[in-house]
Amino acid sequence: MKWISLIPVVGVGVLLLFAAQDFPEWGDPQSPASQSPVASHFINNTGVDTEVPNMVTAVLADYRGFDTMFETVVVFIAGIAVLAILKGSGGRRRGTRRAYEVEAEPDIIVTHTVRLMVPVIQIFAFYVLAHGHVSPGGGFQGGVVMGASFILVALAWDLDHALVRMSLPRCMAIAAAGIIIYAGIGFLSMFLGGEFLDYAELEKVLPVSREMARYHAMLGVEIGVGFTVTSIMFALYANLSTEGRLKGGL
Amino acid sequence: MGLELFNTFILLLLVVTALAALRVRDLITAAAVLGVYSFLMCLLWAEMGAVDVAFTEATVGAGISTVVLVATIFNLKRKSND
Amino acid sequence: MFEDGAIINELLIERLNYIIYVVLLLIGLHAMISKQNLIKKLIGMSIFQTAIILFYVSIAVKDNATIPIYKTEHDPHGDAAKAAVLDSNRSGEETKAFYAPVMLKPEETQQYSNPLPHVLMLTAIVVGVATLGLALALCLRIQQGYGTVEEDELLVKIERSDARYSQSPLAKAKNRRRTQSRNTRKPRTSVKSTKSIGKSAKSLESRDSTKTKKTTSKSNLSQPKKKPASTSRKPRSSSSKVEGSKPTTPKAPAKKASEKTRAPKKKGAE
Amino acid sequence: MMSFSSPFQCLASATVEAGSSEGGFLVLQVIGVLLGVLGLIFFLGAAVGLVRFPDFYTRLHAAGKGDTLSTMLMLTGFALVTMEDFSLSSWLLLIKIMAVVFFIYLTSPTSSHALMRAAFEDDEMPITEDDIKKRNRQKGGKKS
């Protein structure tokens, strides 16, 4: 039965290899993708329009802001779906343990190291988020690093210890707040006379030039993305490791 | 030329790790090898100049997705039949 | 293109990235089709996804170009701009004019690699992990319902529970009532349900059919008695029957799940 | 082909030019490269130990020690190579790299410890002389 799967695989492979011949050489500066007016417009105008040195951040949060907003919504919906699938589904009955699960105190060496590490990781997450304009980084990466710090707490002690700091309702509230921040900045710029997510209009409320208004609005947008990604990553871990019971687990 | 050699080496290693991740029967090993695969991919992208994508892949692909996979496999059977 | 070994040069040296992307994509595709374990399928999906991202990033590469972050001389906030502002003893307006970033020249545009594919793929990675989490949650749910994530065992269990479901007189009575209420679709649904059940189920049913024909009147009579007891479970089973083309209603797991969903709710209410 | 420049190149380009023009800090570069090679040798030792050692605890011992030491050596070497001109930015880079080294010093032993403890709680027994003797006897029995 397995060999039948080879037929579509080989078919697709032959087609793709045949197409691969027609691609431009790797790294060719004259390739259509590199010569496209859109790409060169972004490279040229990012500095003039937004004063953000990192073009990727500028394109992500400003030029393609609408796209990124709904990507964030997708992440949020995935988190809600995981909650909806696993919430109260039970799994093993409460109280039963597996053979290899051992009753153990949280290890003192691990907990103390984590106690040292977590603040540094969280500060690094803020750095990644806020410094994303100048260096690689941004809302998604900072949010993931922030979520990882909570997961680290859950791994070193147990899930309850992490849930005291970030309970699941709080988690979802923060996730929703992230999207509201993002959309709120968009609507604010709409009410100030521009279009949706047209950050330049924010100069009317911020004491800066049009370019710098876009710069700072991008930071706000990234903070919104960071909120959502942080809490959804932690919610994913908390639900998957305990089958939605939020007790015990890894 | 040196960088291109590096590139080629990582590309071949990618195929090896991808095959290994699908070949192993122990699912936790498979998750770990997938983490290695993600990290190699991240190295390749950093070398190609896509630093933002590489950073995202390092945090998401090699970090969170491995953790989430292991957390799930903890609740499932660890061995797979193929 | 195909003569004197040019194809090797074309494909293996100049376009090795594209070849590897095709190979990785095929590995992922094959795993998604042929692996039995659902987690292995998800790993294959992950590899498939990264292969496509590799393709996009390969497109963005330019020879002799740096990462898409402005160098210090083009940077609106870099050391060069600040130093220039500090050095020149200009008035406010002049400083502003000097400080404002300039458009790049076309040859300077060539110094930076293409940022657009990077942006597209950045969000794809994060959304990828979100979908992976969702798929893993579904795997956990399947494990809870059927006790396995191996596809072949899963199919056997689904067939068996289907057979059990179609055997039970309660389900038959319900089925009949449903089909009576919509006469037009009667033949189609009945054929479908028997077809999708395995051979063993079919034989079981044919054996049972004589019995049920005899007891038709009886079951009709006894229906009102049974009705109040089954009302709580009725909407669940009927809705899940409508959902798929296959009547995949495992009775026991659904029952279990319904019990379990009820228990925590009570706890929450307290 | 001196192809596309990478982030590594971007990091090193300014400093390399300065070093080659002055030529005075070649010593630092040589020391840096030597430290890097030394780190690689220790990594090789760790890898060989991981394959050759008989049981879990000794294997983890090799991996943990080699990992910590060789990472420290290689990162220090890298810091020295980038320390071409003693400008503020290069000192900043040095401090950042040393912070990475510090965190590896914190985390690598902790992770080794956590793994060891997990194995110990899972009743994984270290190999003893009796085990080796028994194994040898079995091998001999099979041969004869």
User: Domains plus CATH for chain C?
Assistant: 1-61+113-149 (1.10.287.3510), 72-110 (no CATH), 155-232 (no CATH)
pLDDT at residue D3 tops 60? no
Interface residue A29 vs chain D (CB under 8 A): no
Distance from CA of A108 to the nearest CA of C (A): 31
Query: What is the dihedral sign for C-alpha C118, C120, C123, C128?
Result: negative
Are D110 and A116 in contact (CB < 8 Å)?
no
- At A242 the pLDDT is 84
pLDDT at position B34, please? 93
Helix axes C92-99, C79-87, angle to 10 degrees: 150
Please tell me the distance from the alpha carbon of residue A209 to that of residue A201, in angstroms, as a whole number.
10
pLDDT at D86: 73
Q: Is residue A29 part of a domain?
A: no
* Residue A147 and residue A229 in contact, taking contact as beta carbons nearer than 8 Å: yes
Interface list for A 170-189 with C (CB within 8 A): none
Quote the radius of gyration of chain C (alpha carbons, Å).
Answer: 32
- Measured between CA atoms, how close is B22 to chain C, in angstroms? 7
Confidence of residue D39 (pLDDT cuts 50, 70, 90): very high
Q: What gap in Å lies between CA B30 and CA B52, rounded to an integer?
A: 26
What pLDDT is recorded for position C89? Answer: 55
User: Position C27: which residue type?
Assistant: I
Tokens 């027609």 belong to residue: A22
Q: How confident is the model at residue C50 (pLDDT cuts 50, 70, 90)?
A: very high
Question: What's the rounded mean pLDDT across residues C205-209?
Answer: 46
The whole-number pLDDT of residue D125 equals 79
Residue with structure tokens 């380009």? D13
Is residue A67 included in any domain, yes or no?
A: yes
Interface A-C: count of C-beta contacts within 8 A: 199
The total number of structural domains that make up chain A: 1
Q: Left if phi > 0, otherwise alpha if psi is -120 to 50, otherwise beta: which for C113?
A: beta
**pLDDT over threshold 90, residue A74:** yes
The chain-wide mean pLDDT, for chain D, equals: 78
Cα(B53)–Cα(B55) distance, integer angstroms: 5
CA distance linking residue D86 with residue D107, whole number of Å: 30
User: Does the beta carbon of B6 lie under 8 angstroms from any beta carbon of chain A?
Assistant: no
Residues of D with CB under 8 A from a CB of B: 1, 3-8
Q: What's residue A201's pLDDT?
A: 84
Q: How far apart are CA B81 and CA A176, in angstroms?
A: 41
Q: Which domain holds residue A213?
A: 62-88+108-245
Residues of B in Cβ contact (< 8 Å) with C125: 53, 56-57, 60-61
Would A153 be classed as within a structural domain?
A: yes
Measured CA to CA, the distance from residue C56 to residue C116 in angstroms comes to: 10
Half-sphere exposure of D57 (CA within 13 A, CB side): 13
> To 5 degrees, how large is the angle CA D84–CA D89–CA D93?
80
pLDDT 10s digits, C167-201: 777 777 777 777 776 655 544 444 444 444 444 44
**Dihedral of CA B16/B19/B21/B23: which sign?**
negative
Q: Residue A48: inside a domain, yes or no?
A: no
- HSE-up of C241 (CA within 13 Å, CB side)? 20
Burial class (CB in 10 A: 0-12, 13-18, 19+), C259: exposed
CA angle, C206 then C211 then C214, to 5°: 130
Judge whether residue C265 has pLDDT over 80: no
